[in-house]
Structure 1
Amino acid sequence: MGIRLVLLLMSNQGYYYFVLACIGIPANFVTIIILCRGNCGLSKSVTLYLVAMTLSDLLVIMFCVIFDYLVHYHVKSLLYVTTQLCAFNEFPKSAFMECSIWSTVVFTVNRFVAISQHGFKVKYCTWRTAVNVLLTIWVVSILRSIPDYFKYEPIITTDQQGRGCRVQLDFMLMLKWAVFDWVNHILTPLIPYLLILLLNCLTVKHILVASLACRRLVRQDSAANSDEEMKSRRKSIILLFFVTAGFILLWMPDVIYFILERIADLHYSAANFTHPLAIFDQCSTMLKLLSSCINTFYLHLDTN
């Protein structure tokens, strides 16, 4: 029954991505407007990180869902598209996906420092630091994605014009491309995934230790200030765990697929869509793109 349900979902991916685009684009757009108004009770640095995450998620949906999957399913053939345009679409897909992932990482780092590293909080958790960090990861992500444009070749050539695009047949046979591909997959999403997992474990450990300490030290004279501080602290912790838990769960299949393909060296034929590994690959893609949509709902729940 479960296999039939998965196969049914796989055969209707076009509808899935259409619904994802219809929900994700307006939800992310409205979230950006709400955050930019600054009435959510969040600090300027946290607001900036959330705006960067939401903006990158919006761009991921536009380029990965609309321009890639929806166009592919409705046009039915990429041979109508020139090779230059097809390859150029791969560049922003990679860049904005990386921006989305690393924006989540630096947001997690910011919350970890704010919750666990009070001595470093004053210097790090500032608006200027947020601007510098986000600007750095966006510039690096875009520059790192430029080579993606050059790894594609035409599927066919008509009237001396390349049509469609596919990865070059000797892509993995060339050492420079093999190194680039491995670095690309390690940077996105393996290292971010492990960093977010590690920082959340350290944050939970700090919260448990701090909770035990608070039970031993009850300050009656500063109860009001303590309640207000605990309320703000609780809101920050809930927001952190909602965002990072969604990322960890939805990106887990993609990380597992990376391990199976790159480390265990398991592969499947591109023509065999019913192969378990092919189904798992497509499901992991659907889930990681879903992560670009659900963060907005976490933010609305937390700010309301």
Structure 2
Amino acid sequence: MIKLIECPRDAMQGIPTFIDTAIKAAYINQLLEIGFDTIDFGSFVSPKAIPQMRDTAEVLDLLDLHQSKSKLLAIVANTRGAEDALSFEQIDYLGFPLSVSETFQKRNTNASIAEALHTVEEIQNKCEIKGKTLVTYLSMGFGNPYGDPYSPELVAEYVRKLDELGITIISLSDTIGAATPQLIRELFETQVQAFPEIEFGAHLHSRPEQIDEKLKAGILAGCKRFDGALKGFGGCPMAKDELVGNMDTLAMIPTLEGLGFELGLNKQELAEAMKLVSFVFNA
């Protein structure tokens, strides 16, 4: 079974012009009609760091979850943000960005990797008490532009540390679009075999022409969870100046279905969401 995660939060967060709260909510409500496994809908982070997401709580209040099978995921960057997210019963998953790059960890969460690992442990404990699941993203998981140490063995070391903390979902994240199909396959094959109890995901940023081969590489290696965003909008504003967008969900669907996976998506509702994309992102 393949899980498809739609990421409007990742698509929106780097847009400098504030998107009206009602527009955000209307778009996410339409996404909730499609049948994605999970919607990465918002984040509880400092509004100074990510101004676009300052209305996440207000957006959540406007979401209609009664008829949707999709689960909600919110990104947090520290314990305070996690506590805010955990106060909302509607949220199923908390996502935390742990980096294998010291430079990016400081840029992204204003903390060292050691401090971030301690935060992961604290948030994991709080999630267990509240009956929520923590998704840990290993950002810069396929290399970094800063010259920081990187190797598949380093990734494996952090997966092991997260496993010891009881983390059950880890998403290897190609924050800058640097991953090759070969590296994707090698990383996932190694980790899936070493940690069969962990659900591994892929959060890949990619040029449009590379989506098919990257997606297939992940699937062949045993990855079961893939993030995307309609029309491939997005990119991490904390990574570097030139943003590489998310994998376009619309391009991912035919590849997955062509490989025989039943995604359970309502194509009519998907078409309605596509009508909103250009309006929401002013593109």
Return the TM-score normalized by structure 2: 0.26
Richer in helix (by share): 1
Return the TM-score normalized by structure 1: 0.25
Richer in strand (by share): 2
